[in-house]
Structures are given as C-alpha cells and as structure tokens.
Chain A
C-alpha cells in the first residue's frame, strides 16, 4: 500500500528566508506526485505536479520541487517566502497503474511566515 509522510507538521520561517517542506512517500510502483496549498476555509489549489520527465518541477508562486526516486522524496522549496505564503501545504501521490486517479495525501505542513 502507498503512504505519504510529511516530516514537519509546522514550519515557522521569517519573511524573505528560504523554506523547504519535506515529503516522503512509500510505494512499490511508479507514482505521480503533487503539492497543493490550502488557505483557511478554502479548498486545495495545485502548486505543482510531477508526472514524468525532468525531476525538477517549477510551480506557481515561485515554488519548485525535486523528485528523488532513490530517496522516494518530493520536497517543496521556495528561495524567499512572503507573508502571503502562510498556509497549509499537502503532498499527495497517485499510483500510475491504478487508473482511478485516487490521491493519497500526507498529513499536511503548516507554513507560518513571520514578519
């Protein structure tokens, strides 16, 4: 069975500092990988996705992530955060072979950007 672990439940960081949100997954088969952001009382918005090809994926709002197959990781990074990046971030995987499109989510990481 597949699982997703987000290694930090909360990440406090000062404005304009770099940040990394960590995500590890467990799967014996190939997966698609996603990062979503959720602002309070809203739905999830896609930040970026990895389906195939280059392992460095660029997304919206200046975020990027790197797929590392050997370490089964998909960490999210931003070189300089803004106050507006304060939100909850979810890593998710979808199994290629299942053909159902089901997503398995991590528990989420709350990014708190301080002035």
Chain B
C-alpha cells in the first residue's frame, strides 16, 4: 500500500543537539509538508516543498531546516536554535494544490 512513513516514532534530543526526522512517501506526490502540533493549537506549517530541490518557509520555520533532494523524501532537521522543540511533528503530501493532504503517523520529539 502507498503511504507516508515517518521515523522514528519517538525521538529524544539533548541540549545543543541537532536531530533529523525522516519522512518518505511512495505516493508519487509532488508536494510535501511539515507541521508541528502542540496541544490546543492545531497544526502549524514549518516548511513545504512543491518540487524537488525547492522549498519554502511556512509560518514557524525558525530553528528548523529541510532538504528535498528526492521526490520521495523530505527530512526535517530540528536545530539547537529551536528552543522549544518538544512537540508532535507530522509530515504530509499531496499531488497538487486542490487535493487533500495525506499524513504520516508522526514523530514525537522530547527533550532529555
């Protein structure tokens, strides 16, 4: 079955450490997205990419970085500059702008 795979499911970060969250899709979707979810705040867009080798900042990009070297992959790095990284991170993709986004099962990041 096609879908979006996020790994790991749980991740722990030490102070001053960068961590990378993986997102892989086999849906042949052009666009991919990263969201951050905090309790009671819904989902907020971190970065998105509509095509390989191109990406744009979302609403809360500070302290995060991404790459899009392959159509299937859109990894998110949470840098040490992100002072409050504890959250649930969701990756999504869609074929084109008027189509619904498909979501992965998320990665929960916590601080040690």
Given known contacts A100-B50, A105-B42, is B98 in contact with A44 (CB within 8 Å)?
Answer: no
Chain B residues 26 to 47 lying within 8 A of chain A, measured CB to CB, are 31, 33, 40-45
Contact A42 B106 (CB under 8 A): yes
At the interface, is chain B mostly helix, strand, loop or mixed? strand
Number of A-B residue pairs at CB separation under 8 A = 67
Among A100, A101, A105, residue most surrounded by chain B Cβ atoms (within 10 Å): A101
Residue of A nearest to B102 (CB): A46
Residue of A nearest to B99 (CB): A101
- For residue B67, CB closer than 8 A to chain A, the reply is no
Instruction: Mark contacts of B64-104 with chain A using CB atoms, 8 A cut-off: 1 yes-contact digit, 0 otherwise.
Output: 00000000000000000000000000101010111111111
Q: Number of A residues whose C-beta is below 8 Å from B?
A: 26
Give the A-binding residues of B (Cβ under 8 A).
4, 6, 31, 33, 40-45, 48, 50, 56, 58, 90, 92, 94, 96-106, 108
